[in-house]
Amino acid sequence: MFSNSQITKIEEHLFIGTRVASEDCQTIMQHGIGATVTLLALPRPFWEATLPKTLETLIPNDARLYIQCQDEASFDFLSHFDEICDFIEKHTKTPEMTEEILDATERLAPGKFDERLLKPKNVLVHCQMGISRSTTAVIAYLMKKRRQSYLTVYQDVKSLRIQSEPRWAFVHQLRLWEKLDYELYKDGKKKEEYVKYLELHAQLCQGLEQGLKDGAIIKIDENWCRPLLECEAGASDTTPKEAA
């Protein structure tokens, strides 16, 4: 079993870990992991091709959420928060089993109903190193679940997993998540602040495509509505794409 640096329990049924831990069958069994959230830069088919065959029997495909996610300032993490939160919530809560479903199950497979189906799963959220992307996803989920601020949840997670450190751009998105009251839509429409964010994100990506990335630090002010581009000699984002 891996050390705390590879996989860390954050709360009941919720873990943060590394890619190595997520692909180690012994670790998966030791911690009772039944579902995973994977955040990697690789396209899903390339990732799936590297998985041990025995892992498929431990975690079925419908218990895996895969988001192709770069650990870069330009990645729109915010737009995935709802999907991540819904997935974690679905798998960490006790499944509802009605009498009708139980009766149908008994008719199809008499005497073979597995009571484990009624128990919540342990969910492992992982990226490459369990530092930035996985921490961002877990913080977003806990903020919504607990109705707590970014800073409060960050401090809680950090106290349990010392290497947890969301990229600064992801921190801005988490703070906006808080300002949006953990909901991107209202009455079926995108909230105004979310629309503004999407517009700014498009501008940011366009700027990076035009070659503004080198020697540039992109900041967002406290209103979350105005990007500031400061070019500083020698200041660049040097974190490897799969470093966290």
Q: Which amino acid is at 194?
A: Y
Let me know: does 176 contact 193? Beta carbons within 8 Å: yes
CA 199 vs CA 132, 194, 196, 210: distances in Å: 24, 9, 5, 17
Q: Give residue for tokens 């877990």.
A: 138
Write down the residue that tokens 């065959």 correspond to: 53
- Angle of CA points 208, 179, 173, to nearest 5°: 25
- Beta-bridge partner residues of 38: 66, 126
Active site annotation includes 127: yes
Out of 25, 69, 85, 127, the active site residue is: 127
Structural contact between residues 205 and 70, judged by C-beta atoms closer than 8 angstroms: no
**Residues tagged active-site:** 127
